[in-house]
């Protein structure tokens, strides 16, 4: 059975506070949900103590010029050819889109403001082009209101040489929470997303399109097999792109998670359904491992009923690993705790850093902890603390091997200090392996 509410609240408080585990000791797991939730069961793989001893450390990376957070799926930050990191747009604690952009210099450890976007936007995509410029596409450009957000069809390109944004060709269909992937030929594939269905609901998109950075135009791509938004997208070495799970709108303000996955082949301009996840997921992360395996971590199902008919509203601690050679997903080492809206970044060693996140049952506090996945042994280290709790932050692996984590939500909903306004941080920190 699922832990009683008061026992679970105490554990969430411990996880979100200054008492988060900082040693190699695993948290108590005696009341774990049988098929989900945030606690790993006693059948989880044994922690590798040698990996724990070499887990690296966190250090401050200053404050950004603005506070913000960035919901999945698209990455919010890119590293420019000169080594600087560009962060563009996002949303504040009232879900208002922002037009501010910032640059981080890893060599100096300093932040500076960059040229503002022409349109404030959230739930957009940010993609580094092959020529070093940056494409921002779609998103939502209006604050929350009583009617569904309409989404944007506008796009902009950032030129680091001039520190300015210029409007470019418009999407053929306005969309937000879509994926954006740079293809081997330099085009950008945008797939899925959400758009307005009626005066009181959204619809989920199957459509896809590709951006030509030379011509500055969008052309249609064959639609996906399944409509989806909020989904991770990964490009394999052979150029194919994998879409993993995501969200399907099912009614007025209602949505559900997907287990369906599919592959796009740019050479054939076609989609192929692949094996599905064992667990439907949204707000999860998918990370490309060495050899083109894919690791999926965390996420949630929004009110999932387990095989034994127990109700599971919590974020997942289970993980899955995909082998494209066999087209199979298999269960992998379990996370120490469940989490959604976290970030997973592959390190230069091939291992994976998972940082931050929250639990979908409350979405109240950002977790101040991280854990390491050993891709060779398929085990997780004990959790170790970041400098600050955060969910829905931006994160990027740097060329020097470090990981930069930026912004995110500290406290939200009933935990927020101000009614109707979540607490968003402008702090950033660096992980050094």
Rounded CA gap, 115 and 136, in Å?
A: 13
Q: What is the pLDDT of residues 284-313, one digit of tens each?
A: 999 999 999 999 999 988 645 555 555 556
Q: Any idea where the domains of the chain sit in the sequence? A: 45-432
**Does the pLDDT at position 113 exceed 60?**
yes
Rounded CA gap, 362 and 414, in Å?
A: 9
The domain over range 45-432 is classified in CATH as 2.120.10.80:
yes
Half-sphere exposure of 244 (CA within 13 A, CB side): 35
Rounded CA gap, 227 and 248, in Å?
A: 7
Query: pTM to 2 decimals?
Result: 0.86
Q: Which residues contact 311 (CB under 8 A, 6 or more apart)?
A: 2, 303, 304, 305
Mean pLDDT confidence for 239-251: 95
How would you classify the pairing of strands 77-79 and 85-88?
A: antiparallel
Q: What is the pLDDT of residues 131-183, one digit of tens each?
A: 999 999 999 999 888 778 889 999 999 999 999 999 999 999 999 999 999 99
Q: What is the pLDDT of residues 209-225, one digit of tens each?
A: 999 999 999 999 999 99
CB 397 within 8 A of CB 346: yes
Q: Residue 35: what pLDDT?
A: 32
**Does the pLDDT at position 246 exceed 90?**
yes
Q: Residue 48: what pLDDT?
A: 43
- Long-range contacts, 6-9 (Cβ 8 Å, 24+): 7/31
Peptide bond before residue 73 is cis, with ω within 30 degrees of 0:
yes
**Does the pLDDT at position 18 exceed 50?**
no
- Calculate what percentage of the chain has a pLDDT beyond 70: 85
CB 367 within 8 A of CB 57: no
The CA-to-CA distance between both ends of the chain, in Å, stands at 38
To 10 degrees, the CA torsion angle through 116, 419, 143, 137? 60
**Does the pLDDT at position 37 exceed 90?**
no
Structure confidence at residue 75 as a pLDDT band (50, 70, 90): confident
Q: Which residues contact 76 (CB under 8 A, 6 or more apart)?
A: 70, 87, 88, 89, 90, 126, 394
Instruction: Say which residue, 47 or 176, is predicted with more confidence.
Output: 176
Mean pLDDT across the chain, nearest whole number?
Answer: 86
Q: Residue 222: what pLDDT?
A: 98
Q: Which residues contact 419 (CB under 8 A, 6 or more apart)?
A: none
**Does the pLDDT at position 408 exceed 60?**
yes
Rounded CA gap, 397 and 349, in Å?
A: 12
Rounded CA gap, 176 and 322, in Å?
A: 27
What are the backbone dihedrals phi and psi of residue 166, each rounded to the nearest 5 degrees, phi first? -130, 135
């Amino acid at each position: 059975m699922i832990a009683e509410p008061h026992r679970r609240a105490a554990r969430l408080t411990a996880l979100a506070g200054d008492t988060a585990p900082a040693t190699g000791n695993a948290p108590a797991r005696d009341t774990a949900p049988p098929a989900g939730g945030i606690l790993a069961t006693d059948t989880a793989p044994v922690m590798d103590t040698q990996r724990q001893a070499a887990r690296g450390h966190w250090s401050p990376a200053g404050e950004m010029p603005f506070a913000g957070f960035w919901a999945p799926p698209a990455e919010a930050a890119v590293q420019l050819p000169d080594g600087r990191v560009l962060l563009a747009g996002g949303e504040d604690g009232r879900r208002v889109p922002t037009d501010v952009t910032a640059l981080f210099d890893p060599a100096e450890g300093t932040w500076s403001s960059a040229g503002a976007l022409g349109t404030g936007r959230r739930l957009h995509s940010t993609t580094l082009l092959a020529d070093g410029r940056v494409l921002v596409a779609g998103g939502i450009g209006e604050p929350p209101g009583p009617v569904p957000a309409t989404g944007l069809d506008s796009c902009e390109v950032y030129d680091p040489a001039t520190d300015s944004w210029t409007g470019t060709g418009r999407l053929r269909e306005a969309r937000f929470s879509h994926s954006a992937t740079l293809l081997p030929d330099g085009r950008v594939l945008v797939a899925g997303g959400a758009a307005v269905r009626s005066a009181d609901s959204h619809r989920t998109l199957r459509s896809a399109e590709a951006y030509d950075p030379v011509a500055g135009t969008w052309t249609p791509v064959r639609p996906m097999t399944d409509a989806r938004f909020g989904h991770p997208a990964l490009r394999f070495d052979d150029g194919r792109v994998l879409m993993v799970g995501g969200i399907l709108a099912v009614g007025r303000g209602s949505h559900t998670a997907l287990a369906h996955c599919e592959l796009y082949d740019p050479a054939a301009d076609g989609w192929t359904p692949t094996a599905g996840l064992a667990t439907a997921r949204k707000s999860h992360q998918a990370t490309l491992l060495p050899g083109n395996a894919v690791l999926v971590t965390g996420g949630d199902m929004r009110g999932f009923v387990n095989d034994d008919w127990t109700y599971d509203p919590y974020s997942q601690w289970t993980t899955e690993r995909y082998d494209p050679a066999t087209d199979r997903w298999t269960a992998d080492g379990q996370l120490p705790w469940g989490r959604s809206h976290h970030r997973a970044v592959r390190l230069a060693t091939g291992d994976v850093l998972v940082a931050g996140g929250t639990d979908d049952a409350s979405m109240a506090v950002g977790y101040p902890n991280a854990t390491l996945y050993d891709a060779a042994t398929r085990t997780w280290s004990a959790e170790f603390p970041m400098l600050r709790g955060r969910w829905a932050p931006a994160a990027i692996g740097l060329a020097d091997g470090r990981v930069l984590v930026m912004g995110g939500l500290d406290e939200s909903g009933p935990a927020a200090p101000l009614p109707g306004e979540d607490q968003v941080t402008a702090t950033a920190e660096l992980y050094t392996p």
